[in-house]
Amino acid sequence: MGKFEKDAKDLLEYVGGKENINAVSHCVTRMRFALVDSKKADVDKIESLPSAKGTFTQSGQFQVIIGNEVSEFYNDFVKVSGIEGVSKDAVKDASKTNQTWLQKMMGALGEIFAPLIPALICGGLILGFRNIIGEINFFNNGTQSLADISQFWAGTYSFLWLIGEAVFHLLPVGIVWSITKKMGTTEILGIVLGLTLVSPQLLNGFSVASTPANQIPVWDFGFAQVQMIGYQGQVIAAMMAGFVLVYLEKFFRKVTPSVISMIIVPFCSLVPAVIIAHTIVGPIGWAIGNAIADIVYGGLTSSFGVLFAAVFGLIYAPIVMTGLHHMTNAIDTTLANMFGGTILWPMIALSNIAQGSSVLAMSILQRHDERAQQINVPACISCYLGVTEPALFGVNMKYGFPLVCGMIGSAIAAVISVGFGVQAFSIGVGGLPGIISIKPEYWIYFLLAMAVAIVIPFTLTMIVGKKKLAVPVQKHEEKDFISSMQGRLMPLSEVEDQVFSQGLMGDGFAVELKDGEVLAPFSGEVVMTFPTKHAYGLRREDGLEVLIHIGMDTVQLNGEGFESFVQQGDHVTQGQVLAKVNIDYVLSQGKSVVSPVVFTSGQHIECQGQDVKYNQENIFKWKGENEE
């Protein structure tokens, strides 16, 4: 039996069964489903699975966060479901039937930029390093830089531009290649088209603004002239040219006989695409890109800039949850190329930090909840490093208030960042390492904004969380005790084991299990766990103690068929899952699933046989001298 086979069976049921699954795959931490009807997925039950750390829906895919063991879980799921797994691309294609046109567009944009982001991050770091060694005058009373006083660093400064230029000036090559790759057309044609947009024969796109109109070179065809302008650093123009090539190739591939397609398709696709790129879509894309950049830059640097920043900082995390944040990559890159830096990226990095700080507070608030910590700690670390989805979907959105607290802190931090004009060289590392991408002259201001993005969400989440997550102290006379198991309730005297039936360990009751979960009957401390995972001792604040013993003679199973979620010293909340038992396995080994609950602190009760459900109150009556 696989480690996750039980959870895999349950997940199959909770997502609506095999017939509700179009396709399934997994990534590094998540199971990805393309469901026929996403409404059939029972989110509450799925998130109650021990191995599930949260769920969310994005780009039409229903995703279940499993964690580092997702590949093992996936194998067990494929085994129990009989559904053959497919690639992530196949799941994406299947899930598109559940997407709106806007989601499809944003998803496509994200898939185009995803392969480029590592190069953009690397380029941003290189520009930052070049600035430190060659642009900031640290020496000789602020008159010379490191490159000015050292030949080695001067050579390094010059050499690194080789990479920086390749990343940012020649970016259209990467964009057009990525489009052809995503759309399934000939990638080398995309590379060639991209190269025609940045050819050294053309006037460099960054020099156009400073070149008089009568000095811009042209191609003269007699009846018409076309300006020889390059599109270095242009994003929108390159994307439009890439899609022109893609659809031309698809058209000619469809209408051309296969015997001559190798000759006709490339020629008839590439040549018209280059002409259209330089005469129609290039100038249009340039104008659109410049307009977007001017609007964003103008808005951020205007007298209303801080208001724009506050709104952006507030809503960026929800934007990420919709997938619309991919649009900011194009805007960021255009800003960086047009103005030598971007004001937008620092706010994104600060939003990462703010949401991570909310998770950090949740981790402290739930420090006694081991299962919650399995989600909180990795989510906090990844968020501080710039990957926010585990934090957003696994923690902050689940509880609600941490998300809002993070949004508030992000908004305030964004106002500080924009108020001081903080700029990044380009898209860079997110989260705490984001400072590496920031221009050094803005480091102090960015550090101030970072401090705000840490302190405010953390403090607000702690304050709100202490109220939201607090377990009220219950007095003993309130008899606040719930059924921790589901099944047939029976007096302890009917248990076959005489140690329990004769009350040698104390009074209590037993439940013949009909479900495998065992919950905490009250909030308190775990004072004992047995190595074989079949017995647990709990103590309430008022001194009430119980022993929960799962099954009869189950110690002989050496933990097989049992799964524990707590350890000695943990604080548990009422209703929290303590353990799970595979009832079928226990019965197959000839063991009883009658499970005693004994009051080892001396209380006496009386109960009647009945069926009980989880969280049910008043399943017995207190009696005797210990009743208060």
Q: Using one digit for the tens of pLDDT, what is the confidence trace for 339-388?
A: 778 888 899 889 989 999 999 999 998 887 666 777 788 878 878 877 67
Identify whether the C-beta of residue 553 lies closer than 8 Å to the C-beta of residue 486.
no
> Could you give the CA distance from residue 413 to residue 504 in angstroms, rounded to a whole number?
63
Q: Please state the rounded mean pLDDT for residues 561-575.
A: 89
- Other Cβ atoms closer than 10 A to 371: 16
Give the CATH number for residue 75. 3.30.1360.60
In-domain check, residue 243: yes
Q: Which residues contact 311 (CB under 8 A, 6 or more apart)?
A: 411
Q: Do 278 and 226 reside in the same domain of the chain? A: yes
Q: Do 308 and 244 reside in the same domain of the chain? A: no
Q: Do 407 and 360 reside in the same domain of the chain? A: yes
Q: pLDDT > 90: what percent of the chain?
A: 34
Sign of the Cα pseudo-torsion (554, 559, 562, 563, in order): positive
Instruction: Give the total number of structural domains in the chain.
Output: 4
Q: Do 485 and 356 reside in the same domain of the chain? A: no
8-state DSSP, 144: B
Return the exposure string of 164-196: e unless at least 16 CB atoms fall within 10 Å of the residue's CB, then b: beebbbebbbbbbbbbbebbebbeebbebbbbb
- Residue 51: domain span: 5-98
> Could you give the CA distance from residue 375 to residue 370 in angstroms, rounded to a whole number?
9
What are residue 545's DSSP bridge partners?
539
**Above 90 in pLDDT, residue 336?**
no
Q: Do 380 and 425 reside in the same domain of the chain? A: yes
> Could you give the CA distance from residue 562 to residue 118 in angstroms, rounded to a whole number?
44
In-domain check, residue 326: yes
Q: Do 327 and 275 reside in the same domain of the chain? A: no
Q: Which residues contact 105 (CB under 8 A, 6 or more apart)?
A: none
Q: Do 510 and 373 reside in the same domain of the chain? A: no
> Could you give the CA distance from residue 409 to residue 451 in angstroms, rounded to a whole number?
10
In-domain check, residue 429: yes
Identify whether the C-beta of residue 396 lies closer than 8 Å to the C-beta of residue 351.
no
pLDDT digits (tens, 9 = 90+) for 214-266: 899 999 999 989 999 999 878 889 999 999 999 999 999 999 998 899 999 99
Identify whether the C-beta of residue 349 lies closer than 8 Å to the C-beta of residue 313.
no
pLDDT digits (tens, 9 = 90+) for 405-457: 999 999 999 999 999 989 888 776 677 887 878 888 899 999 999 999 999 99
pLDDT digits (tens, 9 = 90+) for 169-186: 888 999 999 999 888 899
Amino acid in the structure at residue 81? S
**Above 80 in pLDDT, residue 544?**
yes
Q: Which helix (H) or strand (E) holds 611?
A: strand 610-612
Could you say which of 27, 268, 405, 607 is catalytic? 27
Q: Do 269 and 376 reside in the same domain of the chain? A: no
pLDDT band at 87 (very low <50, low <70, confident <90, very high): very low
**Above 70 in pLDDT, residue 93?**
no
Q: Do 355 and 454 reside in the same domain of the chain? A: yes
- Other Cβ atoms closer than 10 A to 322: 12
Of 331, 321, 324, nearest to 104 by C-alpha is 324
Query: Which of 468, 495, 519 is the endpoint of a domain?
Result: 468
Q: What is the pLDDT of residue 82?
A: 84
| CA distances for 124 relative to 117, 118, 168, angstroms | 10, 10, 9
Using DSSP's 3-state secondary structure scheme, residue 472 falls into coil
- Other Cβ atoms closer than 10 A to 355: 33
**Above 80 in pLDDT, residue 606?**
yes
Count of alpha carbons within 13 angstroms of residue 204, beta-carbon side? 9
pLDDT digits (tens, 9 = 90+) for 285-294: 888 877 877 7
Q: Do 436 and 510 reside in the same domain of the chain? A: no
In-domain check, residue 628: no
**Above 60 in pLDDT, residue 79?**
yes
**Above 60 in pLDDT, residue 472?**
no
In-domain check, residue 117: no
Q: Please state the rounded mean pLDDT for residues 566-573.
A: 87
What are residue 262's DSSP bridge partners?
none
In-domain check, residue 134: no
Q: Do 278 and 183 reside in the same domain of the chain? A: yes
Count of alpha carbons within 13 angstroms of residue 556, beta-carbon side? 10
Quickly list H helices, 171-229.
171-183, 187-197
Q: Calculate helix-pair angle for 187-197, 171-183, nearest 10 degrees.
A: 150
Q: Cα angle vertex 493, ends 491, 495, to 5°? A: 90
Q: Do 226 and 314 reside in the same domain of the chain? A: no
In-domain check, residue 190: yes
Q: Which helix (H) or strand (E) holds 220?
A: strand 218-220
Q: What is the pLDDT of residue 486?
A: 92
Phi-psi region of 191 (alpha: psi -120 to 50; beta: other; left: phi over 0): alpha
Query: Which of 468, 502, 518 is the endpoint of a domain?
Result: 468
Q: pLDDT > 70: what percent of the chain?
A: 86
**Above 80 in pLDDT, residue 494?**
yes
Q: What is the pLDDT of residue 186?
A: 94
> Could you give the CA distance from residue 130 to residue 370 in angstroms, rounded to a whole number?
45
pLDDT band at 45 (very low <50, low <70, confident <90, very high): confident
Return the exposure string of 70-84: e unless at least 16 CB atoms fall within 10 Å of the residue's CB, then b: beebbbbbeebbebe
Of 169, 167, 148, 168, nearest to 158 by C-alpha is 148
In-domain check, residue 150: no
Mean pLDDT of the chain: 83
| CA distances for 93 relative to 18, 77, 78, angstroms | 19, 21, 20
pLDDT band at 89 (very low <50, low <70, confident <90, very high): low
Active site residue 27: yes
Most confident of 152-156, 311-315, 504-508: 152-156
8-state DSSP, 49: S
pLDDT band at 473 (very low <50, low <70, confident <90, very high): very low
pLDDT band at 583 (very low <50, low <70, confident <90, very high): very high
Find the distance separating the first CA and the last CA of the chain, reported in whole Å.
48
**Above 70 in pLDDT, residue 625?**
no
**Above 50 in pLDDT, residue 327?**
yes
Strand extents, DSSP E, 216-349: 218-220, 225-227
What are residue 594's DSSP bridge partners?
512
Range from 29-33, 74-78, 296-300 carrying the lowest mean pLDDT: 296-300
Query: Which of 427, 445, 468 is the endpoint of a domain?
Result: 468
- Check residues 402 and 500 and name the one with the higher pLDDT: 402
> Could you give the CA distance from residue 556 to residue 541 in angstroms, rounded to a whole number?
33
Q: Which helix (H) or strand (E) holds 549?
A: strand 545-549
